[in-house]
Chain A
Amino acid sequence: NAGVTQTPKFQVLKTGQSMTLQCAQDMNHEYMSWYRQDPGMGLRLIHYSVGAGITDQGEVPNGYNVSRSTTEDFPLRLLSAAPSQTSVYFCASSYSRNQPQHFGDGTRLSIL
């Protein structure tokens, strides 16, 4: 029973590099989200999806792209990494808007 799986768990990038954070869920959840968590702050929504082929921006979308080609996968792409994107990134999914979100274990990303 995998739940929400995020890879990698840790990553160090240089400024200007691009990369994709992977997120997969095996619970057939329609709703998926990407958050970032910075020290002393709550989670902030980057992008979210309400189903395959449907994505929308959250509170802090700049510098990130997402796509949702399947129900299971929701990758987050950093286009040109900046030090301000150093953070812990969480992927989450839920069956519906009224259900609690299930979180992955997070990806700790450092941009040098």
Chain B
Amino acid sequence: AQKITQTQPGMFVQEKEAVTLDCTYDTSDPSYGLFWYKQPSSGEMIFLIYQGSYDQQNATEGRYSLNFQKARKSANLVISASQLGDSAMYFCAMRMDSNYQLIWGAGTKLIIKP
């Protein structure tokens, strides 16, 4: 069965440090996509970054990058030079090409300390 696991319920990081949020997934589908979303305390869901299973390079979007290790079935989000505004819940999600459904992890609560 398809599953997303985020093993870090919460993290504290010092401002300006880099942070890695873990995400592992389980699927037997050969073709899939992985998404990261941010949910601030205000509640909206904000798309951050996407990685396709056949993409040769790791995805990057500004301060966000995705450390995609296909053999280990991991898709960790790396935030460089963290800012106070990065404090939020972060969700990893997976979509299989065989259907439309997104499978979501339970999330990691990130708190950036000044």
Would you call the interface of chain A mostly helix, strand, loop, or mixed? strand
B4 and A42 within 8 A (CB): yes
* B 76-114 binary contact with A (CB < 8 Å = 1; else 0): 000000000000000101010100111011110000000
B: contact size bracket: 20 to 34
Would you call the interface of chain B mostly helix, strand, loop, or mixed? strand
A70 to chain B, nearest CB (A): 19
Complex Cα spacing A79 to B13, Å: 45
Complex Cα spacing A106 to B47, Å: 15
A98 and B52 within 8 A (CB): yes
Complex Cα spacing A92 to B39, Å: 14
Complex Cα spacing A38 to B43, Å: 12
Interface residues of A in 5-52 (CB under 8 A from B): 31, 33, 40-45, 48, 50
Complex Cα spacing A44 to B4, Å: 12
A85 within 8 A of B: no
A100 within 8 A of B: yes
A42 and B106 within 8 A (CB): yes
A74 within 8 A of B: no
- List B contacts of A105 (CB < 8 A): 43-44
Residues of A within 8 A of B (CB): 31, 33, 40-45, 48, 50, 56, 58-59, 88, 90, 92, 97-98, 100-103, 105-106
